[in-house]
Structure 1
């Protein structure tokens, strides 16, 4: 028994502190636990009868980063003077940092508590023991730092050689020799490869996400336990696949770093993503990727360009040149504004200098005529390759159907496997054990329901592919690119991508004296084109032509504003500013010229009829009535060549109308019919399979 142990120490209890640094040590280093618990016999030999074991900090590090409730409770008990000795196998079990170690030693000195390890007994009130404890605490802290430094250096050297693989991302598996290989599951491989294929076709991560959601396809995700699960994709999932260098066949390490900050209460850790030049390791072509390294870098550049403030990805707005127009005077990019009640009036303006630095405004002009002029230039460039583009579009459409069909077939194969597996489990169980059999039967039914759902989707996808456009139909569209480009159903984002593929940028300026907008188009191949468009001067009014106003006045008796706008556009008539007609513009024209809107009740009261209604009222065919109106026998109006006739009921109750009806009834001409001797071509009818 040590002479440092007195009666005042034995009258109080002893506390045995047991700790291991990590859960792995708790599970696998059982011998260390037994040695620490064996310290209880040493305390009994030293004379203590009441011994409390504190082992709630098993698996917690003593470096000071983690909160140790057991250590805190032990220090609290010592501070109250209830403990005569605190023991551990080694004093390093108490603490590995100076703050907690010095706190424990100082508290033990004040209340006269001994520290005991497997070698000796320390009395903190004695200067020699206090000095020895201080040296041991410093050595314990230094030893931990040295171990950390050696471990970090070894880890860093292994990472720089590309041999440190911690976890395998989805789509890969880690081999025994610390390498990455593609997941052997072909369904996983082809699903991830489809993400890169669709990005190369669509150009943005968001469009890839929308395509997957539209086709209702899933992507693999890896759980923390290593299992692969199939989930509905999100933008973060798509972006992570497109930006992770591992899918380009490169090994990376050290892409992020942690920094700690103290907010007055707790220490918070923040993770910062480092730029590529600061990564610890980047080794291209270290394993087989889902895409080549050069193609992966091109995807990174495309994503950066999509998020750039200067250009960015093609948006859904109507502005065709958003991000492409640059001011010739100051060199800044022009911004886009949408005005009007429906936000359909487009205007480009150079206002960044005024907004950011208070400089005078540079230029501003209407965007619709500029977009139309650039669109015509683009059509002029792409028209010679229209036929080839039609063939490629047809092939792309067929390839997209094949991609969806292949993905659904992979899903079906996986679902059928799960159904067979569930069926085998159900067949293998004891039918009398209903608690197990009912659950296995439910799982089997769920798997079979999933199989039937995927089979139905496959059938729908196959039937939808039968009605797809053919190569000839695409060729017809290519022959009339102008109509396709200006159609209301043409996607604005698609037109923007076409323009950005061909045009580098457009430099714009306004010449006040000439009253023109000067556009210099810089094409991708290095060719430059200058366009000069007339610009409305201050005080100058662009009126709609008088014939167009009279046509609207006549059509308003029979047609709504939407129909009038369609008729005007079909006849190639534009507004005074050269814009296409919309319902709002027709309403504005009527209000300005005081033309009443269409009212069905007033139309019936005044007796306005269309050609077919008037023909029914007279009792003749529409062709007969139309010819009579053209000859001047019956009054009628035809405001536009490709539009409806406007006829009043009162003009059909005249003697001329009666004579027309009688003449039509006396006519002996009958529609042409085949004679009995006329031979047929022998086509079979689809209804009764008889020759017609």
Structure 2
């Protein structure tokens, strides 16, 4: 620092436009005793008046820089508002020397762009369109924007990012847009000026002028594509795209309690609303119901809604298949035409060269052979495509398509109709399905909100875990008592209950005699018929504190299967008689009976999970 005495600059305002650099230079000069000089004079940063003047010059220069930037930005915006600001055009467009934007003159480029939009409208997912393009060997035509081959058309394989940019670009709907993405300084990498751009909502665009550019699709179709892409995102407030899984109405179920879409359980087909438990720490899920009952209701209503349209569908189905095959055939003919042109061009270049100039002729010969090989490869691929997908439908194929389309139910349950196809059909006509579970019972109120706004309501029956959750459990218990008092056995009572419409808790056609017998034992009802008890072998009779296992179960009001589990766990001591039927005799004195009753009173799951208590020293009874 002591070696510099004068800092000379022709135009100090250039440096002063950065306040940080300017004041750092002033501070260094003041510390070292150096002076600053420009065409206007010499300044001593250590002097108060000179330092004040230098600071004023720096402030004015920095403000001037911001004014220049502001004027340039306003100029760009004003030019964009007139629709005259040029920007990089997407694939499928070209800019003439006059500045006019036109379609790409290559017909194949236009056909591929239109095919992408048509397939997205039909398939509905970005990845589905990508798979379709890859399966049919369709590539995208890209014009190079820079380099020595600027403007040359290259064919590249499709990728997800290119398709996403294409579907989101409003230029394809004829909209001139400016300000769709803005730079966020917090996200910007200083080494990469183009980073940190944030996509803005449509109402926040700086400029949006419709009907300026030639359009591949309408504005209505563009808005529908935007809405579809937004709905395909895997978020709680969106239906999401169609995914694999057996649940038919996945993404459409709407919980009426928290006003949010439910989630689908991955382990079993269930619809679960866990928003209250996840976000607010509730002890239980808001609602949970088996997917089978809801899917059956939705399926029946959808088939009933589609039945009147069966004739129209049958008439249009074959035409759609023919139109799709014709579009693919047109793309193939364009690819073959391009390959023939490239081969002919290579041939003409070869014949125009001097035969003696082998340095050039050898390369032209290789180019010609490569073009011919590519042409032959395309011909073979086209032949395979024609064999697998003929250009026209035969009379038998047309009759089959018409018959299947006319039978909506048969087409729905056909082996060739996948679960994803069914989901697409449901989402095309159903907006959402609102469900409300009546407490912990089996009753579920369901409402289908159709795409047109109409609503169809119905009551469903879901499987539950226990019989006491059934809404008609008190009436069923009373009926069992009444029939048991008449001396009717368990099988007869089960038949009566089935005839009167009583159903088991976990689904099924009827309540079994075993379930009725268990209920009768719990209720203390007479068995209906007397079973003679087979005596034990001599010397093996139950002792004073011993009981037959079924007698112990009746005394504890439990099932014998639970007592078997307790014996296996070592909670009950039992022995087995030596001869058939090898019944169990359990030992249970008064103290053990009290312990067993205490175990019986504990809630379900007490021994299958770890209990957390406020006192760390207190733990649940260990599971032996």
TM-score normalised to structure 1 length? 0.59
SS at structure 2 position matched to 1:349: strand
Gaps of 5+ in 2: 469-505, 510-624
Corresponding position: 1:519 with 2:442: no
The 8 Å contact of residues 16 and 59 in structure 2, kept in 1 or not, is answered as no
Q: 1:461 to 1:106 in 2, by over 3 A?
A: same
Quote the offset at 1:413 in angstroms. 2.4
Tell me, in whole angstroms, the C-alpha distance in 2 between the residues paired with 1:503 and 1:335. Answer: 17
Q: 1:124 to 1:448 in 2, by over 3 A?
A: farther
Tell me, in whole angstroms, the C-alpha distance in 1 between the residues paired with 2:313 and 2:325. Answer: 18
The 8 Å contact of residues 114 and 121 in structure 1, kept in 2 or not, is answered as no
Corresponding position: 1:148 with 2:69: yes
Cα RMSD of the aligned pairs, angstroms, is 3.8
Corresponding position: 1:503 with 2:427: no
From 239, 245, 248, the counterpart of 1:311: 239
Q: 1:336 to 1:416 in 2, by over 3 A?
A: same
SS at structure 2 position matched to 1:314: coil
Quote the offset at 1:377 in angstroms. 2.8
How many residue pairs align between the two structures? Answer: 460
* Per-residue deviation, residues 639-691 of structure 1 (Å, max 9, x unmatched): xxxxxxxxxxxxxxxxxxxxxxxxxxxxxxxxxxxxxxxxxxxxxxxxxxxxx
Gaps of 5+ in 1: 1-78, 340-344, 542-575, 580-692
The 8 Å contact of residues 504 and 524 in structure 1, kept in 2 or not, is answered as yes
Corresponding position: 1:324 with 2:252: yes
SS at structure 1 position matched to 2:213: coil
The 8 Å contact of residues 36 and 45 in structure 2, kept in 1 or not, is answered as no
**1:240 matched residue in structure 2:** 165
Q: 1:448 to 1:200 in 2, by over 3 A?
A: same
**2:345 matched residue in structure 1:** 421
Tell me, in whole angstroms, the C-alpha distance in 2 between the residues paired with 1:330 and 1:84. Answer: 75
**1:57 matched residue in structure 2:** none
Quote the offset at 1:158 in angstroms. 1.0
- Aligned ranges 1:206-245 → 2 under 5 Å: 206-225=127-146, 226-227=150-151, 228-245=153-170
The 8 Å contact of residues 515 and 535 in structure 1, kept in 2 or not, is answered as yes
- Aligned ranges 1:436-475 → 2 under 5 Å: 436-466=360-390, 470-475=397-402
* Per-residue deviation, residues 514-534 of structure 1 (Å, max 9, x unmatched): 854443333334544344444
**2:212 matched residue in structure 1:** 286
The 8 Å contact of residues 106 and 124 in structure 1, kept in 2 or not, is answered as no
**1:486 matched residue in structure 2:** 413
**2:330 matched residue in structure 1:** 406
Tell me, in whole angstroms, the C-alpha distance in 2 between the residues paired with 1:94 and 1:333. Answer: 58
From 349, 356, 364, the counterpart of 2:279: 356
Quote the offset at 1:288 in angstroms. 1.5
Q: 1:87 to 1:175 in 2, by over 3 A?
A: farther
Quote the offset at 1:320 in angstroms. 0.6
Tell me, in whole angstroms, the C-alpha distance in 2 between the residues paired with 1:149 and 1:173. Answer: 31
Tell me, in whole angstroms, the C-alpha distance in 2 between the residues paired with 1:535 and 1:132. Answer: 84
Q: 1:131 to 1:177 in 2, by over 3 A?
A: farther
Tell me, in whole angstroms, the C-alpha distance in 2 between the residues paired with 1:193 and 1:578. Answer: 52
Quote the offset at 1:448 in angstroms. 2.2
Tell me, in whole angstroms, the C-alpha distance in 2 between the residues paired with 1:458 and 1:84. Answer: 81
Quote the offset at 1:262 in angstroms. 9.8
The 8 Å contact of residues 390 and 471 in structure 1, kept in 2 or not, is answered as no
TM-score normalised to structure 2 length? 0.64
Quote the offset at 1:380 in angstroms. 2.6
**2:87 matched residue in structure 1:** 166
Tell me, in whole angstroms, the C-alpha distance in 2 between the residues paired with 1:220 and 1:263. Answer: 31
SS at structure 2 position matched to 1:425: helix
- Aligned ranges 1:548-563 → 2 under 5 Å: none
SS at structure 2 position matched to 1:221: strand
From 366, 383, 398, the counterpart of 2:290: 366
Corresponding position: 1:273 with 2:196: no
The 8 Å contact of residues 348 and 365 in structure 1, kept in 2 or not, is answered as yes
Quote the offset at 1:500 in angstroms. 1.8
* Per-residue deviation, residues 211-240 of structure 1 (Å, max 9, x unmatched): 111111011234341534221111111111
Tell me, in whole angstroms, the C-alpha distance in 2 between the residues paired with 1:296 and 1:400. Answer: 21
Tell me, in whole angstroms, the C-alpha distance in 2 between the residues paired with 1:125 and 1:271. Answer: 41
**1:336 matched residue in structure 2:** 264
The 8 Å contact of residues 287 and 437 in structure 2, kept in 1 or not, is answered as yes
Tell me, in whole angstroms, the C-alpha distance in 2 between the residues paired with 1:416 and 1:120. Answer: 72
- Aligned ranges 1:28-67 → 2 under 5 Å: none
Quote the offset at 1:93 in angstroms. 6.0
Tell me, in whole angstroms, the C-alpha distance in 1 between the residues paired with 2:289 and 2:15. Answer: 76
The 8 Å contact of residues 518 and 530 in structure 1, kept in 2 or not, is answered as yes
* Per-residue deviation, residues 357-411 of structure 1 (Å, max 9, x unmatched): 2334344332224323432332233234324313322111111111211122222
Quote the offset at 1:311 in angstroms. 1.3
SS at structure 2 position matched to 1:260: coil
Tell me, in whole angstroms, the C-alpha distance in 1 between the residues paired with 2:54 and 2:460. Answer: 90
SS at structure 2 position matched to 1:173: strand
Tell me, in whole angstroms, the C-alpha distance in 1 between the residues paired with 2:142 and 2:100. Answer: 20
Tell me, in whole angstroms, the C-alpha distance in 1 between the residues paired with 2:441 and 2:65. Answer: 81
**2:178 matched residue in structure 1:** 253
The 8 Å contact of residues 164 and 178 in structure 1, kept in 2 or not, is answered as no
Tell me, in whole angstroms, the C-alpha distance in 2 between the residues paired with 1:495 and 1:392. Answer: 19
Bigger Cα Rg: 1
